[in-house]
A and B are shown apart, each in its own frame.
Chain A
């Protein structure tokens, strides 16, 4: 009697967590936190510090002092924006059957283009930064599109091509940016004010954080992804190509054009991320001393977000939260590396989806044996 009861509880739990991909993602994230918490305990620290840091990032409440400051929320969003955008970049390619490891390179390309327009563009309010954003979109799209063309025309693996182009983008960016008059080995002169994405309203709302127009751009990007992939003719052919290239070709879809378009759009997302960072978080152009890593994080973001628009947005917020909680954790004697460990764990667990699927199949079989489900 007790045994059967126990079985139904387990059954219900498994039914619950395997009912949808979204639920799997949520369970996986919780699992990551659980293991992270255990690790914190194992190294002899109090895990409540970790959660109070996270609470502060999410709500602005500092539980230790009992004070509230909205700036933390703003900074969390600022940190999340490039993660969401790079996540969308990888996710968009993923929906089309492509693995874009090169979001980092496209990000750098977009960032560099935006910096140039910021310094040399016409100093007209709004128009200036809009031009910079457009430049980043175009250059990011080109950087991604090249890979698409290589893949479509010459069957060059997009994985190899994008990785290589990451380095090309990085060093080219350094060389070009250093050529800007007044630039030294790590920065350019300060931009004119008109180039900045700063939004006084958002700054005021978040008590002087760096939150900027990038927020709106990210929202538009999420909507764009959602609509294009799900609701348009273009999205239909891209998805068809991604799921079964042969069948798409048979149905008269121009597979080569699909691949190129998808990589270009994917690159544009990453390019936009570069521009949002360059114009939103900095007031001068950087001569990059290393890769920012948002493009690489985007791979994990897209993976956890299951390559959907809203899933990627949420997982970008999650990763952004972990990243912006790092300094707060350190001040609470929690090793900040724990956030990287949690991110890593989440990615590993999510890769275990195959395992979850096996679990589901095993359960179906058990049920079939009991005569519950047949057909």
Chain B
């Protein structure tokens, strides 16, 4: 075992950070050696981002000490962090879309010539040098809007390299990337390491840790669990440290019993926010008893597709049929009544009314009919309460004050369970599930996956949209790869392999894929 003792780039000791009602970091230790790739692992809400935000000067810790390169420091703002040569690549890029790569990189430290004009030449040259040195393959003159997401991430990396950072923090860097891009990123990380940079990356994906990191620190519910050498630790051991118990990754399911077509989409075109088509002539079928997964990188038309089926966005052209009945332009309420259920992508925006109590949230789609309201239009509170109690028990929703718990006071996992409970309870013929497990812990994910498979086995048609390729591959019977609003290919799950789907997600039409 190597010794890292003498040369720490980052030493954070006894860090405590308290937010109202939660201890985000509870006496956490975090030590990163000079020149290593160090993964920070934990479930959502484990306190990873808080810890890194403290390191980057976005929060001040309530207690604890920070040493950078052996020297005790106080980091009060991102400017302090930059001065200490710490740079951060945020999960959501902070780039100006109609600026060039170079303009984005120099933003804030523009050097000007005598005439007061931006000295682009000089900056471009430096960007090119950095790009070549680390193998980033970025053209300094491209506009941000014309380059891929993976490339944009590399611009973010260049931005901090340009500011001479030698400690680089990556916040969930792979969340927005295709599998191929993830491989490229890992290569870049190794290259940066070879040039003597120290790298910290936040993640909850074990595979990437095995592929990239030297050591790994695990946090669970704000507490420091341990730091391990990655090469001596299996994925299962890491998962156990992260969750606190042993977990299974496989989803048990029987082969599907596929029935008639429930959802049929023909040549569907939907305009996105900017008035350009986000879904282009899309064709797709979902039959009863199967789970069809949409694999794709965020922003390739998934949200628009789901919104159009649900009636939240207007359809430009094409048709949507539910059990053979056209619903292309139907009212949302009629769609719900003809058997369309949706677990929306954004549970705070669409899924729940956060200021409503949980019992009210559980009837927002069914409050009009008995037993929840009588024929005179009065709500029946006893029935509403009983319904909530039943679902709370059946779906194991943890709500502090039972049916009267305000939705906003519940944890993300329990909020999501509430949404899923409501939708499954309506027993829709077609259940659309968008990002069902985003931001949830492993226990909740297992449970939600099991319920989705149960619905399938009851003969419902299920359309699953997820940015997590693993989730799509584990859960679905057929997988449709979506790229730029088009279905590039559809494969049966048992024949699917990650490379192949990844290539399709990047827009490459593969021979193995069969069009529907």
Contacts and interface: CB of A to CB of B under 8 A. Distances in A.
Main secondary structure of the interface of A (DSSP, over half): helix
A225 to B, nearest CB: 15
Contacts of B356: 239-240, 243
A250 B344 contact: yes
Interface in B1-31: 18-23
A252 B378 contact: no
B149 interface: no
B353 A233 contact: no
A240 B333 CA distance: 15
Given A240-B356, A247-B352, A250-B310, A365 B332 contact: no
Contact of B336 (A246, A248, A252, A364): A252
A239 to B, nearest CB: 8
A236 interface: yes
A251 interface: yes
B368 A250 contact: no
Given A250-B312, A251-B365, 7 more contacts: A232-B373, A239-B356, A243-B354, A244-B352, A247-B350, A247-B352, A369-B18
14 contacts: A236-B360, A240-B353, A244-B349, A244-B355, A248-B353, A248-B364, A250-B310, A250-B342, A251-B336, A251-B365, A252-B332, A252-B335, A252-B337, A252-B365
A361 interface: yes
A365 B19 contact: yes
A247 B353 contact: yes
B351 interface: yes
Contact of B377 (A233, A246, A374): A233
Name, among B18, B22, B353, B379, the residue most crowded by chain A CB atoms within 10 Å (CB to CB).
Answer: B353
B62 interface: yes
Name, among B62, B335, B364, the residue most crowded by chain A CB atoms within 10 Å (CB to CB).
Answer: B364
Contacts of A251: 332, 336, 364-365
A105 to B, nearest CB: 29
B134 interface: no
A291 interface: no
Q: How big is the A interface, by class?
A: 20 to 34
Interface in B49-99: 62
A248 B342 CA distance: 13
Contacts of A232: 373, 377-379
Interface of A: 231-237, 239-240, 243-244, 246-254, 361, 364-365, 368-369, 373-375
A302 to B, nearest CB: 18
A232 B336 CA distance: 21
Nearest to A371: B23
Interface string B279-305: 000000000000000000000000000
Q: How big is the B interface, by class?
A: 20 to 34
Contacts of A365: 18-20
A368 B18 contact: yes
B463 to A, nearest CB: 16
A361 B20 CA distance: 6
Name, among A232, A235, A243, A252, the residue most crowded by chain B CB atoms within 10 Å (CB to CB).
Answer: A252
Name, among B310, B335, B350, the residue most crowded by chain A CB atoms within 10 Å (CB to CB).
Answer: B350
Contacts of B331: 252, 254
Given A240-B353, A250-B310, A233 B62 contact: no
A303 B19 CA distance: 30
B342 A374 contact: no
Given A233-B367, A240-B364, A365-B19, A246 B350 contact: yes
B397 to A, nearest CB: 16
A252 B312 contact: no
Contact of B23 (A246, A248, A374): A374
A246 B332 CA distance: 12
Contacts of A374: 22-23
A369 B337 CA distance: 50
Nearest to B367: A236
Nearest to A252: B333
A368 B19 CA distance: 9
A249 B332 contact: yes
A375 B18 CA distance: 11
Given A233-B379, A234-B377, A240-B364, A249 B312 contact: yes
Nearest to A235: B379
Interface string B308-341: 0010100000000000000000011101110000
A246 B355 CA distance: 14
Contact of B379 (A231, A240, A248, A369): A231
A373 B21 contact: yes
A284 to B, nearest CB: 41
A180 B186 CA distance: 85
Nearest to A375: B21
Contacts of A237: 367
Contacts of A236: 360, 367, 373, 379
A364 B352 CA distance: 26
Interface in B412-441: none
> Lowest 10 CB-CB distances: which A-B pairs, in order?
A252-B333, A251-B364, A361-B20, A250-B350, A244-B353, A233-B377, A243-B355, A233-B373, A252-B336, A252-B332
Nearest to A237: B367
B351 A247 contact: yes
Nearest to B349: A246
A254 B335 CA distance: 13
A361 B310 CA distance: 39
A368 B350 contact: no
Contacts of B310: 250
A368 B22 CA distance: 8
Contacts of B373: 232-233, 236
A105 B431 CA distance: 48
Contacts of A233: 367-368, 373, 377-379
A253 B349 CA distance: 15
Contacts of A248: 353, 364
Contacts of B332: 249-252
Contacts of B365: 251-252
A252 B377 CA distance: 17
